[in-house]
Amino acid sequence: MASDVIVIGAGVIGLTSAVVLAERGRRVEVWTRSPSSETTSAVAGGLWWPYRIEPRDRAGDWALASLAVMTGLAGRPERTGVRLAEGTHAGQAPGELGAWAARVPGLRAAGAGELPRGYDRGVRVRLPLLDMTTHLDYLTRRLRAAGGTVAVRPVDSLAQATRSAPVVVNCTGLGARDLVPDPSVHPVRGQLVVVENPGIDEWFTAADDAGADTVYVFPQPYGAVLGGTAQEHAWDRDPSPRTARAIISRCSRVFPRLARARVLGHRVGLRPARPRVRLEAEPLPGGGRLVHNYGHGGAGITVSWGCALAAADLVETATPS
């Protein structure tokens, strides 16, 4: 059966876009260069948080739409990979976060006794924390249940896809740099360390959109994820032992028990950054259309459902966003 829509890319942006379209009755096929388990999404820490993404006002709306969906999915964490977890974001007060923060249920200023040494302000909130391996598997199963398919096949050009379906949704992330081509897309390198969890059950972050070094600790079913880095225009995917030691040191200042935790693994992911997310449609010869949905920086997971819903609306209306 011929496809109505081809979605290029099987990270969290591509899979959520495909799921929304398939559940709206479209015949959807996902084309991907690599399995979902090998995408940038698979190595992400997994916390819902609008980080390193523009434009901020629209990103806030997309993030809040995703928050609503993920909160519903958190009722079945063993199946969806989504659970709600308490935690602290240090270094910023609620009023410094953006308009979206006022619409997050339960988000409040942290008291002095709730902050680690060295931080004078922060927020406390219960948020979705995703085990990305489980979540990507869940999205793939949900897509197939709606009649969609996933094909591992390289895509050399957008024209290759547009010849095969009347609508193509471009969710290629960093790959859009060459495929579109769009030279404004660039990597922001993130390195993290996975260690045995010494009993930490809350997440912690201290990161802003400008710093190259961040601090985050995410308790996951497979261990504690420690981060991190945000290195602009860095393409190296090999973990740096020196950087790993620095990450463990920063995180251990917040949770001293981490200094003695056994290291289980190292990960590097290249966030697909852009001056602003590209979420828009363009017409194709013969009445087809190409919808772009890429450039989500450090917030791909956070805005995934909101952007998927917006991309699906563009497929239906062909009205540029």
Using alpha carbons, select from 140, 126, 148 the residue that is nearest to residue 12: 140
What is residue 178's predicted lDDT score, i.e. its pLDDT? 97
The β-bridge partners of 130 are 82
Helix (H, G, I), strand (E, B) or coil at 175: helix
- State how far the Cα of 263 lies from the Cα of 224, in Å rounded to an integer: 10
Query: How many degrees, rounded to 5, is the angle at CA 164 between CA 277 and CA 153?
Result: 70
**How does residue 209 score in pLDDT terms, banded at 50, 70 and 90?**
confident
pLDDT at 241: 98
pLDDT tens, residue by residue, 10-57: 999 999 999 999 999 999 999 999 999 999 999 999 999 999 999 999
The owner of tokens 């609306």 is 313
Using one digit for the tens of pLDDT, what is the confidence trace for 230-246?
Answer: 999 999 999 999 999 99
Residue 319 has a pLDDT of 37
Mean per-residue pLDDT, 212-226: 97
Tokens describing residue 59: 């990103």
Q: What's the sign of the alpha-carbon dihedral 32, 35, 39, 41?
A: positive
Q: What is the dihedral of CA 53, 272, 122, 87, to 10 degrees?
A: 120
Nearest to 60 by CA among 87, 97, 86, 85: 97
Token digits for 55? Answer: 């434009």
Categorize the per-residue pLDDT at 210 as very low, low, confident or very high, splitting at 50, 70 and 90: confident
Give per-residue pLDDT as tens, 161-184. 999 999 999 999 999 999 999 999
Query: Taking residues 203-222, what's their average pLDDT?
Result: 94
Q: How confident is the model at residue 318 (pLDDT cuts 50, 70, 90)?
A: low
Instruction: Give the Cα separation of 36 and 10 in Å (integer).
Output: 5
Question: What percentage of the chain reaches a pLDDT higher than 90?
Answer: 94
Alpha-carbon distance of 250 to 51, in angstroms, equals 19
At 126-156, the pLDDT tens digits run 999 999 999 999 999 999 999 999 999 989 9
Burial (CB count within 10 angstroms: exposed 0-12, middle 13-18, buried 19+), residue 309: middle
For the chain, the average pLDDT equals: 96
User: For position 321, what pLDDT does the model report?
Assistant: 39
End-to-end CA separation in angstroms for the chain: 30
